Amino acid sequence: MTWSVYQHWDPLQVCVVGRSYPPEFYSWITKPRVRNLFETIALETEQDYQLLISKLQSFGVEVLRPNLPACQFVDGKYVKPPMSPRDYMAMIGDKFYFNEYETYPADIAQMYKNVRDPSWPDCSTWNEFKKLPESIQHECVTVHGFDCYGQSQIVPFNLQGCYDHIIDRIQAQGNQIKINLHGLVNGAQVTQLGKDLYFGTDPYERDLEKFQQVLDQEFINTRNHIINTVGHSDGVYCAVCPGLIISSYDIDDYSQTYPGWEVIYLPREHVAMIAEYNKLKNKNHGRWWIPGFEHDDELIDLVETRLQHWTGYIEESIFDLNMLIINAKNVLVFNYNKQVFDALERRGITAHMIPFRHRYFWDGGIHCVTSDLHRSGNMNDYFPERSL
């Protein structure tokens, strides 16, 4: 029987859960205190994964996990673990999309050109960008979504070694597999509502007309919509059930894309209002945070020089809306938010809290660290008044 996913609230049957390195991986860290910290992070991350797996299994969900990269040290840098499978894969209908390689925007100059204010200096290389005034760099990141502070630290690697056995299993189910489709299809960027697919935009995606053409050529049996999220859409909104969206406050209204639906707007993650985090932000540009170690220069230096390509930009994500929907009446969340819980309760949905203690370092919510491969159900049409 082929696997399929048509709606995110259909009963979840098969799910991938990410994996991090074990404590012994960090034996290369020479400072005992810093090494012990990362060994603790590794141990607690797997403990939290096991709680998540146990909860999924209690709902009858089959859980698959990636392998660790076969080659963990490339070009003098440590390859990041497969923590967030949804960033690289998506089951859309009965077709499985997989991005075989890490993909990042290579042309910083083009990204800068797309958003450059006329008063800003010109910029044509990475080194020139790093010499721009801090205020311009900050605006590029916080306003335009550049994921650029780590660009010179990126380690490309083949992801398929982590997921070979999962791909083999999907092939055995009879599903069609599509590899590296323009690098634009992944589960963090698409919301599936039967005949309607909603795609978020990457920070460097500016030609939305061309993007729409690519989507319409690939997905000929659905209505394909673009929501300009300027980053992973699962970090800024979640369609929880028919009629309800939990969203970041700074996303445009949904009157055209989700007409008539209730929208609960949340502020950006409260982390930006924490004084200790902001002290660290001056040193790492807000990419990661390990609470209690804001002044640990040895730790900061190690992450910024050896593991910078592992980190994201935690202020751009709202973990309170990064939910995994189990079925129409149950969702998994990483922490309590009264607005979210009240909205779910009004619709008869139970939220189950699963801890993920180091999400501010891994920059991953519960939706990020999972990926649904099969949900029972057929394609529905929630907007039948729309023409295909």
DSSP sequence for 234-281: GGTEEEEETTEEEEETTSPP-TTTSTT-EEEEEPSPGGGG-HHHHHHH
Residue type, 69: P
Is-contact 237 251, C-beta < 8 A?
Answer: yes
Neighbours of 15 (CB within 10 A): 24
In-domain check, residue 126:
no
Tell me which residue of 108, 3, 19, 101 sits closest to 64, measured CA to CA.
Answer: 19
Is-contact 101 155, C-beta < 8 A?
Answer: no
Strand partners, 91: 96
Q: How far apart are the first and last CA of the chain?
A: 28
The residue that leads in pLDDT, 115 or 186, is: 186
Asked whether residue 152 carries a pLDDT value surpassing 50, the answer given is no
**Predicted confidence (pLDDT) per residue in 229-284, tens digit:** 877 889 889 999 999 999 987 677 899 999 999 999 987 655 555 556 666 666 66
Kindly report the CA angle at 360 between 357 and 362, in degrees rounded to 5? 90
* Tokens matching residue 371: 């990926």
In-domain check, residue 5:
no
Asked whether residue 150 carries a pLDDT value surpassing 90, the answer given is no
pLDDT at 156: 45
**Predicted confidence (pLDDT) per residue in 29-57, tens digit:** 999 999 999 999 999 999 999 999 999 99
* Tokens matching residue 241: 């059930």
Phi, psi of 97 (to 5 degrees): -105, 135
Kindly report the CA angle at 300 between 299 and 305, in degrees rounded to 5? 105
Is-contact 90 190, C-beta < 8 A?
Answer: yes
Q: Is 348 exposed, middle or buried (0-12, 13-18, 19+ CB in 10 A)?
A: exposed
- Structural domains of the chain, count: 1
In-domain check, residue 222:
yes
What average pLDDT score do residues 277-293 get?
70
* Tokens matching residue 134: 């801090």
Domain that residue 369 falls in: 12-105+147-375
In-domain check, residue 245:
yes
Q: Is 188 strand, coil or helix?
A: coil
Strand partners, 158: 101
pLDDT at 321: 87
The residue that leads in pLDDT, 288 or 31, is: 31
Neighbours of 107 (CB within 10 A): 13
In-domain check, residue 113:
no
Cα 323 from Cα 169, distance rounded (Å): 26
Tell me which residue of 272, 329, 365, 315 sits closest to 147, measured CA to CA.
Answer: 315
**Predicted confidence (pLDDT) per residue in 319-355, tens digit:** 788 999 999 999 999 988 899 999 999 999 999 999 9
In-domain check, residue 134:
no
In-domain check, residue 118:
no
What's the CATH code of the domain at 302? 3.75.10.10
How would residue 62 be classed by pLDDT, with cut points 50, 70 and 90?
very high
Is-contact 239 207, C-beta < 8 A?
Answer: no
In-domain check, residue 383:
no
The residue that leads in pLDDT, 139 or 154, is: 139
Q: pTM of the entire structure?
A: 0.84
Cα 314 from Cα 270, distance rounded (Å): 11
